[in-house]
Amino acid sequence: MANLLNHTFNTPYQTAPFSEIKNEDFLPAIKAEIEKTKAEIDIITENKEAPTFENTIEALEFSGAQLDRITSIFFNLNSAETNEEIQQLAQEISPLLSEFGNDIRLNEALFKRVKAVWEQKSGLSLNQEQKMLLDKTYKSFSRNGANLSEDKKAILREIDKKLSKLSLTFGENVLAETNAFELHVTNEEDLKGLPESAIEAAADEAKSRDKDGWVFTLNYPSYIPFMTYAENRELRKKMSLAFGSKAFQGNENDNREHVKQIVRLRQQRAELLGYKTHAHFILEERMAKTPEKVTTFLEELLEKAKPAAIREFKQLEGFAKEEDGIDTLQKWDGAFYTEKLKQKLFNLDDEKLKPYFKLENVIDGVFTVSEKLYGLQFEETQEIDKYHKDVKTYKVVDENGELIAIFYADFHPRPGKRNGAWMTVYKPQYQKNGENSRPHISIVCNFTKPTSTKPSLLTFNEVTTLFHEFGHALHGMLANTTYPSLSGTSVYWDFVELPSQVLENWCYEKEALEIFARHYKTDEVIPMEYVEKIKESATFMEGMQTLRQLSFGMLDMSWHGVDPTGIEDVKKHEDSVFEATSLYPETPETCMSTAFSHIFQGGYSAGYYSYKWAEVLDADAFEFFKEKGIFSKEVAARFKDNVLSQGGTENPMELYKRFRGKEPQPDALLRRAGLIEKK
């Protein structure tokens, strides 16, 4: 029987036919598509005509489209709805794809044609997007070893194969450790301080595990409320140490060796390609350009944030001592006393706010904000297949009813889903044969589930997370480029967070909150004093928060911006890096690196700084919206036309300047964070 994955999907809008796909379909389908793509490459290399932009660069760009579709479905499932079988398949499929990627990038005949077009680029009348595609295509070869000798190409292949397996194993270990831990509470006294919603969710979790009492896990919707509200300090410590020691326990899921192998292989790969370090290699294709510039950027922010962070920490310490006689503030006390102090200063806590943030209302809110800014409308539809019953599916149309995108939203935790929140793509936007093929975009989050008595009520932090991921989704949905590899979020990594982070700003604005922050029982709009307090408290402990983010960026650069070959002890190395930013006493049982999935499994290696980098852009961009009105059609149109729709077709700083009229000013971020005086 023919494998349905090897054909154009006969579904509404050619969406993925999840319910018809069997796990065993993936491997043969991917193998078959690899062969088909190889045949497409052969047509390019065997072409007797002289290499041109059309017969070489464009032909290569549109090759392997079905392979890309199948692999995006597979790896998205591996993140959002995985099981042992899928994980096993991933261990087989990843090296295959890595090998195939190298077959293309190290194909001499193909590179010769690409190089021939690249060398005559000044004589070709290419538009901006074509120039960018040519440049990107040439670099995808040269930066991946096409200019190497045969023996070095063989070494590169071996390194890439190992790296693809190691990063998968790293992620599987983190997931296994997350799932392996539970805090089983049987004494009601131990629940003191916890909000009713957290207690109810823990009771549901216990029931699902056939246990009495309450079960808390390391999944964020369970872990964060526990650390924020539980009065039992010993249990907070237990949870904190379990969270901080993931894949650092000397068991079969320990990631220490994997961390060392990954960074050493990345270093070896960079040197093989003629770069000083992995960060030098990565940053060549980023706005920041060099590790030195990143380090200077982080250090300058550190200098501004550290005095504020130390002041805040002393304030927190004094408060904990006064409240409960705590002599030494520990990591497991941070969230608890921060929340208590915040309640004292602002008389505002998440439990007061949550009734106003029913998930469905927040979704409608982000839809309405998008409609006001960009004219989009979201129609929930049942005709699109889903990979899990919890997933919601939408058709996104513009003011004229034209299809803009298909949108999937997956909001609640489950065992086969990794922690955190992310946006992803099932099908990119591109233009071919006169047709503008629209994208299929998804966001995946881990928000508190509804219980038998309450709908899913979000913390304010979860509200901003939803807006953040939706900002990425808009970048994908509003894409309007010719080539799929330059479409949507296919931009420099330190630019990709701008659309997501800028959208978070609407969560703090009265005009936006009035749209969706309504009490789930009474439909009453959120009281304005709460809105004021949300704004006031937005910069609460911002110095400490900034320090924390900077510490992650510095840890990342310490692994990738210098030669890591001599690092033997992962924990010791990490401690030395954190010295400049740590406020709490050190905990020998914990290690961040062994579960730092962003840099060892995701795509953030030598790129974690980009969150802060993009914050500079987003604070500056939002000041423009504030000047003209947060629903200004004029500013929104400029943002859509110059940023959201353009993908990676041009240098991001040029796009930004065209939107803003000038380069971004870092002071906008420092003003918003309350680290320098407002004008």
Number of CB atoms found within 10 A of residue 270's CB: 20
DSSP state for residue 499 in the 8-state scheme: H
Per 3-state DSSP, the chain is made up of helix, strand and coil in percentages (nearest 5) of 60, 5, 35
Nearest to 605 by CA among 245, 259, 220: 259
- 648 close to 483: Cβ distance less than 8 angstroms: no
Q: Which residue has the tokens 């040269």?
A: 142
Q: 225-236: buried (b, 16+ CB within 10 Å) or exposed (e) per residue?
A: bbbbbbebeebb
CA 455 to chain centre: 26
Please give the C-alpha separations between residue 290 and each of 54, 322, 672, in angstroms, as whole numbers: 33, 47, 27
The contacts of residue 322 (CB under 8 Å, 6+ apart) are none
CA atoms in the 13 A half-sphere facing the CB of 531: 17
**Burial class of residue 420 in the structure, from the number of CB atoms within 10 Å of its CB (0-12 exposed, 13-18 middle, 19+ buried):** middle
Element spanning 424, H or E? strand 422-427
The Cα 252–Cα 243 span in angstroms is: 17
256: left (phi over 0), alpha (psi -120 to 50) or beta: alpha
The Cα 437–Cα 13 span in angstroms is: 10
DSSP state for residue 1 in the 8-state scheme: -
Please give the C-alpha separations between residue 217 and each of 21, 36, 410, in angstroms, as whole numbers: 31, 45, 20
Element spanning 652, H or E? helix 652-660
Helix axes 610-628, 291-324, angle to 10 degrees: 80
The Cα 175–Cα 165 span in angstroms is: 16
Query: Among 469, 497, 509, 615, which one carries the catalytic annotation?
Result: 469
The Cα 174–Cα 418 span in angstroms is: 9
- 384 close to 428: Cβ distance less than 8 angstroms: no
Number of CB atoms found within 10 A of residue 465's CB: 22
Angle formed at CA 69 by CA 166 and CA 46, multiple of 5 degrees: 95
CA 170 to chain centre: 17
SS (H, E, C) 305-356: HHHHHHHHHHHHHHHHHHHHCCCCCCHHHHHHHHHHHHHHHHCCCHHHHHHH
The contacts of residue 132 (CB under 8 Å, 6+ apart) are 486, 648, 649, 650
The Cα 138–Cα 230 span in angstroms is: 55
Residue 469: active-site member: yes
The Cα 17–Cα 70 span in angstroms is: 11
Intra-chain end-to-end CA distance of the chain, in Å: 69
What value does the CA radius of gyration of the chain take, rounded to a whole number of Å? 25
Dmax (CA) of the chain: 82
The alpha helices in 106-217, defined as continuous H runs, are 108-119, 128-142, 150-180, 196-208
Nearest to 60 by CA among 15, 112, 98, 4: 112
Supply the residues annotated as catalytic.
Answer: 469
